Amino acid sequence: MSNAGLESSPAGGAAEIEADAAAWVRRRHFWDWSEQDQASLEAWLNESLAHEVAYLRLEAAWNRTERLAALHPFKHEQPDVERRNWRVPLAIAAGFAAIAFASAAALPLLHRPMETIYSTPVGGREIITLADGSKIELNTASVLHLAPDQREALLDKGEAYFQIKHDAAHPFALRVAGRSVVDLGTKFFVRNGQNQVEVALVEGRARLESAAVAPSRAIVLTPGDVAVASADTTSVTKMSAHDLANELSWRRGLLIFHNASLASAAAVINRYNDNKLVVDDPAIAKLTINGTFRTNDNQVFARMAQDVFGLRVTYRANTTRISR
């Protein structure tokens, strides 16, 4: 359209074009979309720049809402059946204290009071300093909701390290997957994994509560305790200060592996990078590695596998495959 300028707009022109553009965005994002539809859309876009800018603007707004999917974990706070299949990894299941898993009262999805939401992208890291000087460090791909009074938080996704100034009158409570960690003056680390929650206590004391269990039966964690809570069980094991420090090395942008399998180390690095390492050959998955790697550079890891184990590395746009 050559005269896309001012004199070409009939009254209501922009509004009509916007209505058409909205219908295209809706058809593309809500309904099945065929190659034929794509061709029709492109024909419409090519008719005029006014069509193109209207479509771009609406689609950009729609694409932004993709991040709303991060709110999805709330759904899991409502009773639902899938979590019955969660299992504690066998290695840590020994000596667990059973705590019935209780779902927090179902939260209305959209009408919670306005808290502050912090989120980090894959490979990101962020330090949140609270008014009382307490600090929360968010690791890669994590979402944390902080209540307006800053004494309650919800770790929706990912992991975080907490250094909480103790206030007996207003204890800090972290909610995570139906559990609460209530501080008794602490530094602790929480990971909200796919199907289990891990709480590691670094300093001080904290109480691990479950909504359905009387507070008197809550587990009190002391330094070195690592609690792993899954759908229906909680287990507590001890970890050395040295191992704990390694667990928290991400705070310095590092990942430290000590006798880790190649596959498990790759899985950890993958949490920090969009480009994913693929180790799908069982014969090499169990190779043992030791070393320190940067969280944001999986290529060093791939080269290590190549040089040390003589493995083959195949680079693709989104993956780096390690194979024999």
Partner 1 sequence: MTDITETSREDSRPGAPMNASEVRAWFVREVLPLEADLMQFLHHNWRNKSDIADLRQDIYVRIFETARREIPARPRHFVFTVARNLLIDRVRREHIIPFDAVADVDALGFAMETPAPDRAVIARDELRRLRAALDRLPPRPREAVVLRRIEGLTGRQIAIHMGISEAAVSKLIDNGIRALADILYSDPEDRRNWA
Please tell me whether residue 14 binds partner 1 under the rule CB under 8 A.
Answer: yes
CA dist 307 and 162 (Å) reads 38
Among 43, 87, 97, 121, binds partner 1 (CB under 8 A): 121
How many residues make contact with partner 1 (CB under 8 A)? 56
CA distances from 248 to 96, 150, 172, 239, 301 (A): 24, 23, 21, 12, 19
Q: Does 97 bind partner 1 (CB under 8 A)?
A: no
Q: What is the Cα–Cα distance from 17 to 37, expressed in whole angstroms?
A: 18
The encoded tokens of residue 48 equal 């005029």
Stretch that binds partner 1, among 9-17, 168-176, 246-254, 262-270 (CB under 8 A): 9-17
Binding status of residue 154 toward partner 1 by CB under 8 A = no
Write a three-state SS string for 185-200: EEEEEEEECCCCEEEE
| Gap between the Cα atoms of 231 and 99, Å rounded | 9
Instruction: Return phi, psi of residue 137, to 5°.
Output: -105, 120
Q: In this complex, which beta carbon is closest to partner 1, that of residue 92 or of residue 136? A: 136
Q: How far is the CB of 175 from partner 1 (least distance, A)?
A: 17
In this chain, which stretch among 103-111, 171-179, 235-243, 259-267 interacts with partner 1, using CB under 8 A?
A: 103-111
- The minimum distance between CB 322 and partner 1, in angstroms, equals 32
| Interface with partner 1, residue 136, by CB under 8 A | no
Phi-psi domain of 75 (left: phi exceeds 0; alpha: psi -120 through 50; beta: other): alpha
Site membership for partner 1, residue 64 (CB under 8 A)? yes
**Interface pick for partner 1 out of 37, 41, 70, 261 (rule CB under 8 A):** 70
Could you tell me the CA-to-CA distances from 28 to 31, 54, 93, 160 in Å, in that order? 6, 15, 47, 37
Binding site for partner 1 (CB under 8 A): 1-9, 11, 13-15, 17-19, 22-23, 25-26, 29-32, 49-50, 52-54, 56-58, 60-62, 64-72, 75, 109-111, 114, 116-119, 121, 126, 143
